[in-house]
Amino acid sequence: MTAKRGLLAVLNAALSVGGCTTAAVPAVSYASAPTASLPSPAQYLVIEPPSYVRSPSRRYPVLVFLHDGYGNVHTLDRRGVAAELLARMADGRLPEFLVVAPGGPGSWFSDSFDGRRRWEEFLTRDFLREIQTRYRVLAGPAARGITGISMGGYGAVKIALKHPDLFGAVSSLSGALIPIRPEDIRRYGWITRLTLKRVFGNPPDARTLAANDVWDLLHETRFEKPPFAAHLRAGTEDFYGLHGVAAQFGTYMNEHGIPTEVVLEPGGHDWAYWRRALVAICEWHAKKFSYDPAP
């Protein structure tokens, strides 16, 4: 295989999204949200809690999940996480809430430098409006959370910092909470550099990077009143050293007025770890949500 063909193969694996298919698990479905922020409607996955159909008057909290750089709209279904969460909700080990997961491969869930793919704008406007209108979810940040893995963990924290009134609880699993100044990008691996430049420009504009760098965003802000609760989680065998990043960034968040828990535990930067750690993430969010009284 030539270097060029090898690059294309990696990009296709990392950036492609299949069309909507039938979910492997009942109560899991796919939908699309029309938006002017993206070139085409955005696909997203929905996990409806077990009582959703039989309790038509009940409303639920909602958790937004943002996938990793190699993931897509099918990630929670294909990795078995959707089935595990539903089983735990069904037998009472986990309180019931909706999970919605848009597919944005390679996007860093950010607005691109050329304005063609404005993922942050979509997620904070049309997507939340779509979920609020289409599903029986409770209104307000107390019943709304956001989480993500790796690239998606960065997206969750970055969006929450820039829009602190939207979510009551924010978490990141093996989050890529890395500085992205021009001198930082040059130090990263080629696939990270490539995807960052696709989103933020080649060469990236320093002002655009500063507007999306979680460290810079937090440096400029100190909250007198906590805007949301935060939870950072990572495996101590993370190939990219993101457990160290979680520890440092968690301290920084606490110093700037955001109450943040940091959990470092055995695990790598892979689905062998993420599959079980996501359950713990969802348990944390479940404790933070407000709920409708049970019928």
Exposure class string for 246-281: b at 16+ Cβ within 10 A, else e: beebbebbeebebebebbbeebbbebebbeebbbeb
Domain ranges of the chain: 26-288
Q: Is the peptide bond before 204 cis (omega within 30 degrees of 0)?
A: no
Task: Tell which residue, 105, 278, 74, has the closest CA to residue 191.
Answer: 105
Rounded-to-integer distance, Cα 225 and Cα 182, Å: 32
Phi, psi (rounded to 5 degrees) for 253: -65, -45
Q: Which residue is associated with the tokens 């735990």? A: 88
What does pTM read for this prediction? 0.90
What is the pLDDT, as a whole number, of residue 294? 65
Taking only the tens place, the pLDDT of each residue in 238-285 is 999 999 999 999 999 999 999 999 999 999 999 999 999 999 999 999
Rounded-to-integer distance, Cα 137 and Cα 25, Å: 21
Class level of CATH domain 26-288: alpha beta
Rounded-to-integer distance, Cα 103 and Cα 106, Å: 10
Q: What is the 3-state secondary structure of 205-266?
A: CHHHHHCCCHHHHHHCCCCCCCCCEEEEEEECCCCCCHHHHHHHHHHHHHHCCCCEEEEEEC
Rounded-to-integer distance, Cα 92 and Cα 35, Å: 36
Residues in the chain where the model's pLDDT stays below 50? 1-22
What is the pLDDT, as a whole number, of residue 24? 60
What is the pLDDT, as a whole number, of residue 23? 58
Taking only the tens place, the pLDDT of each residue in 125-152 is 999 999 999 999 999 999 999 999 999 9
* β-pair partners for 263: 233
What is the pLDDT, as a whole number, of residue 295? 61
Burial class (CB within 10 angstroms; exposed 0-12, middle 13-18, buried 19+) of 100: buried
